[in-house]
Amino acid sequence: MQRTPMLPCLPGFSVDRNLGRTRFHKSQNFDKIHDGVYYLSEKADRRAYSRYASIYPRGEEPEIPPWLAYDGQRLMFKAFFQETVQEKWKTAFHIRVVNISFFLEDGTMKIVEPSVDNSGLEQGVLVRRQRIPIPDPVKYRYYDILDLNIGKEPEIYGRVYKIVDCDKFTRQFLNRLGIPVPDPIDIPKDPYREVRKVEVFPKKPSRMVDTLGNFLKYDRQVLRFYGYWDDTESPHGIIHDLELHYYLSDNTMEIKENVPPNAGRDSGPMLVKRMKIPKFYSGLQPIGAENHFTVLNVLGENARQSYYMMDSLDTGNISTDYYKDNELGIGAEISVFGRRIVITDMDAFTKEYYRTKYGLDDFTPLTRPRKGDEYQKIERYIPPYNGFGSYEDSLGNCFTVLPKPPKTDFIKFLYHDKQGFNSHVLRFRAKMVSKIPGNEERQFIIRLYLMDDTISIFELAKRNSGFQRSLFQKRMPIMLPGQDIFTSKKPEYYKSYDFYIGARLNLYDFHFEITSADVYALRYMELHCDKFPKANKKLIMEKLRESLQPVYKEFVQLYAPPKDAKDDTRILEYEKLKEALHRYMGDKITEHEMITIARYYSSHEKIEHRSREYVRRLLHTELHRFLWYDLDRLKEDLHHWDGDRTGFLSRESLYTILRGCRIPVDVELLNSMLDHLRKAEDGRIDYDDLLRFMNVKIDPVPPAEPVNVKTALWWASEREPDCGGGINWCEFIKDLDIRTEDAIQNNGNVETEPALGH
């Protein structure tokens, strides 16, 4: 379709196109975009006039709307405009280059200025995407393809752009429309940039001291020294405690004064700020003395193009010596602006630095001198306890205006809180010791809570005794008797080691005697015998050995039991052992110690519930039950943790790996398995033995009987023998290990007296 000139929009020159029409609906039809793809569109009005020349032959142009035909296509032009510069006296304007984009789908335009580094201008999108109207005198028309070409100067919102170039697609598209595109035009030089390209000599010397190497090598490495400054010669002078920091990156130092609290002195953050400290100080240096260069003259016609001439011989330079790291150490004396500072000690990093670099080994700290009138720490006076509330609550009123609740030992609470079946509560049975006949038969249960050493007492009243079965004493810490509580000294309380069978306790003027304890308490005290000396078998045997040494023959002759007819074992009844120990030791031994010996050497058969074979059977039963056979992955994790391939890992690491692999077994079973694995001398566990222990295919074991794993492997569930059943006489005499005089005099054949018992 050829383009026809448009008639002016005046009366008589235009014809109403709707004359004679009776249907004003939008004509729509389906058209094909691609093979098998149709869309709903309007029929093109062939009578409508277009300013554009067609790129298709007459009658062959497609009926696709422009938003679909030209989707994603745009014409790119390169242009520039001049902007007036008011601040620069040598240049009146400067050139700014932009890119003009014309979108074919809707006739919108967008102007973007490429960003230039250090331009100082707000660059980017100058005109956002929109249809831009042509300025007056033309109205009601927007810029289109015919208005954009190389050499044209469109005016957009009061700014004139000159188009100088376009891209390859734009040139080909305009040529297909029959629009010739001229050759590119050179952009004129920007006078502002030309002025900035003129070489300007630096106003400061260009030579610099390179400190980057030391910075990269010693960054964040600081030597710390401790010292003092004796200022007692001055009026009201004292000895100042100082802390010196030497920065290895630039050889600077800073000095900080450590002022004790409530010293009556105020000090700033630093005594000497970070700087290089000269060795010899004679006064303030003149201005510019710390500069590394000496300026001889300033050359140039004007201030902008002037430059300096430096003295390459440094004739006027004043050399200054500063303190280095090799001049610092324990016992060194340095002069800091006329003040004598003595270094007395250094931290661990500084010691390692001097040991590595200078080979020093002696780092004995010096003693700081003390003066008689020097500040001394005054202990806080605590008034005596007045009896109101607990001692800790009353003590809180002496420290703060608003008292805070007393702090508890949180670490002790974590270790002795209830954990599964392990309650950490020791229960003892006691009777009241009183001169009143009715109170002698009263029975009580004393509970000792190990998490905070508190005590509660519950009375077990008999029927028709006149006493009620109830709580006798609520849970609370109880002070030891015989203390003067109305003093400032903190009172002492009953501890866990004060409770044992046979002990007599004075609990708030009520006297109790412990007669027995439950199995949990006995077993717990034996497992933690370092905290309970009455349940420590080693200490008890040493006490027995010392007391029975003089009367050993008589003891064996009187109390050695006869041999059993069935086997060679000898069983000594507990009552006879108790009688013998009371006869020869008296009050030196308690009933709890005798029960501990009887439990350890019990003649009853001890069933081993936690043997290696039994634990392995339980483990294989659990693995078969949950269908866990991922042993290869566990092996990879073990090798990953053991980077040195030693074959051994710590117990904590193995426990973490096993829990991370989600092995479907109980924690008690995991701990029991780790207890039975082979260990090295340093306590680490052989994980190859762990893999063999868990392998259900090699050396399989029969399944274990269905049990509750939590209770079967818990130490308190073991069947402990009764202390009244008797003790194994042979084992007891063997561990007693008392040598007689006849055995000592026998040369080369040292036999112990237990042979008398056999």
Long-range CB contacts for residues 178-181, cutoff 8 Å, separation at least 24: 178/53, 179/53, 179/145, 179/146, 179/149, 181/149, 181/150
Rounded Cα distance, 135 and 142, in Å:
9
User: Who wins on pLDDT, 306 or 170?
Assistant: 170
Crossing angle of helices 651-660 and 631-641, in 10° steps, is 140
Residues 653-688 as b/e (b if ≥16 CB within 10 A, e otherwise) read: bbbebbeeeebebeebbbebbbebbeeeeeebbbbe
Residue 228 corresponds to which tokens in the numbers above? 């003092």
Comparing CA positions, the residue from 295, 128, 139 lying closest to residue 204 is: 295
Q: Are 69 and 194 in contact (CB under 8 A)?
A: no
Average pLDDT score over the chain: 81
Rounded Cα distance, 474 and 44, in Å:
99
Q: What is the pLDDT of residue 49?
A: 47
Q: Which pLDDT tens digit goes with each residue over 150-175?
A: 999 999 999 999 999 999 999 999 99
With 80 as the cut, is the pLDDT of residue 471 above it?
yes
Enclosing H/E stretch for 527 = helix 519-527
Q: What is the pLDDT of residue 607?
A: 43
Rounded Cα distance, 289 and 30, in Å:
90
Rounded Cα distance, 104 and 434, in Å:
112
With 80 as the cut, is the pLDDT of residue 752 above it?
no
Residue 419 corresponds to which tokens in the numbers above? 């954990």
Domains 66-196 and 612-721 belong to one CATH topology = no
Crossing angle of helices 612-625 and 687-694, in 10° steps, is 60
CATH number at 66-196: 2.30.29.170
> For the residues 579-607, what does the mean pLDDT come to?
81
Radius of gyration of the chain (CA): 50
Q: What is the pLDDT of residue 659?
A: 86
Q: What is the pLDDT of residue 198?
A: 67
> Which residue's structure tokens are 């060679």?
568
Percent pLDDT > 90 in the chain is 28
Rounded Cα distance, 521 and 663, in Å:
33
Residue 89 corresponds to which tokens in the numbers above? 């006296």
Number of Cβ within 10 Å of residue 553's Cβ equals: 15
> Which residue's structure tokens are 């000792």?
448
Residue 735 corresponds to which tokens in the numbers above? 């561990």
Q: Where are the beta strands (DSSP E) in 525-658?
A: 571-572, 648-649
Q: Which pLDDT tens digit goes with each residue over 257-293?
A: 988 877 777 777 788 999 999 988 877 777 766 676 6
Domain 410-417+425-534, CATH among 1.10.10.10, 2.30.29.170, 3.30.70.1230, 2.40.50.140 = 2.30.29.170
CATH class of 214-282+320-368: mainly beta
What is the number of residues in the chain? 758
**CA distance readout (Å), 326 to 175, 419, 732:** 81, 58, 68
**Sequence spans of domains, the chain:** 66-196, 214-282+320-368, 410-417+425-534, 536-605, 612-721
Q: What is the pLDDT of residue 605?
A: 46
| pLDDT-based confidence at residue 585 (cuts at 50, 70, 90) | confident
Q: Are 572 and 727 in contact (CB under 8 A)?
A: yes
Of the ranges 201-210, 300-309, 372-381, which one carries the lowest mean pLDDT score? 201-210
Q: Are 381 and 368 in contact (CB under 8 A)?
A: no
Rounded Cα distance, 673 and 620, in Å:
11
Give residue 218's Cα distance to chain centre: 26
- HEC states along 236-254? CCCEEEEEEEEECCCCEEE
With 80 as the cut, is the pLDDT of residue 4 above it?
no
Q: What is the pLDDT of residue 99?
A: 96
| pLDDT-based confidence at residue 30 (cuts at 50, 70, 90) | low
Was domain 612-721 assigned CATH 1.10.238.10?
A: yes
> Which residue's structure tokens are 């069935």?
566
Q: What is the pLDDT of residue 608?
A: 47
Residue 277 corresponds to which tokens in the numbers above? 């400290």
**CA distance readout (Å), 74 to 104, 112, 174:** 5, 14, 12
pTM (2 decimals)?
0.46
Q: Which pLDDT tens digit goes with each residue over 654-713?
A: 988 888 888 888 887 888 888 888 888 888 899 899 888 888 888 888 888 777 776 566
Q: What is the pLDDT of residue 719?
A: 41
Residue 161 corresponds to which tokens in the numbers above? 């752009």
What's the one-letter identity of residue 16?
Answer: D
> Which residue's structure tokens are 């554009």?
52
Contacts with 545 (C-beta within 8 Å, 6 or more apart), sequence order: 736, 737, 738
Q: What is the pLDDT of residue 740?
A: 63
Q: What is the pLDDT of residue 48?
A: 46
